[in-house]
Amino acid sequence: MMPKERNVVDSKAIIKRLRRLDACALSDAADQLGLPSAISGLLPRTVKGRICGQVLTVQLAAGSASGGPGRHLCTSSIEAANPGDIIVIEQRTGIDAAGWGGMLSNAAKLRGIRGVIVEGPARDIDEAAEINFPIFARAMTARTARGRIYEIANGVTVQIGDVSVVQGDYVVADASGVVFIAQDKAEAMLETAEGLAAKEGAMTKDILTGRPISQIMGAKYETMLTQGARS
């Protein structure tokens, strides 16, 4: 299945603002807005640092493609990607087989793809680390996908953790967690997260002056998180 056409939005401006925020600030903002918060357990397996971009989705299933081998999993999404995109893969079969590997990492790096997030195992981790390509994955394995799993669709809604992810959504991933942001919620998430980050930054400056942390992280902090960034 070909990727769905993305909505026309000012994605560059949104991504520029998202790059200034970490997963914790965005997770707090999501909690405040009643939206899905950060997904835990999708760990950075290759390089340290935050990745941020728009999502291309891939869904995998157990078995092998009927009528022959077909295209290798994830290759269509790599070729359809724009520089800065992030490929997000659902591999929830329970089979110990990699939803991403070394040749894919090299092709994605050449294409300008910012990273990959795998709900499931990935492999060739050392190779990806050598080329400085970010992989966030639920697990690591040496087992190939061949004969075990295959791509059934791309550009479709996928399930990552307990969040439904749509192609064209935004994502921020770092060592603390992974936060997906629906296109139509991006502005609200940004405004809330930016306000929270500014307040926490000011509180951290107060801590570094030597003020007792109990005076800073008391009722005021809890109110900030529950009542809104502008309260």
Strand partners of residue 174: 177
pLDDT tens, position by position, 36-57:
999 999 999 999 999 999 999 9
Measured distance CA(50)–CA(129) in Å, rounded: 15
Residues in the chain: 231
CA distance 13 to 140: 34
* Contact status, residue 113 vs residue 86, Cβ threshold 8 Å: yes
- Which of 106-115, 134-143, 177-186, 214-223 shows the lowest mean pLDDT across its residues? 214-223
Residue 102, both tokens: 């070394």
Share of the chain above pLDDT 70, in %: 88
| CATH class entry, domain 11-182 | alpha beta
Does the pLDDT value for residue 166 go beyond 90? Answer: yes
Residue 161 has pLDDT above 80, yes or no: yes
Rounded to two decimals, the pTM is: 0.89
Parse the chain into domains and list their residue ranges.
11-182, 189-227
Q: Contact at 8 Å (CB) between 156 and 143?
A: no
For residue 39, give both structure tokens: 């997904």
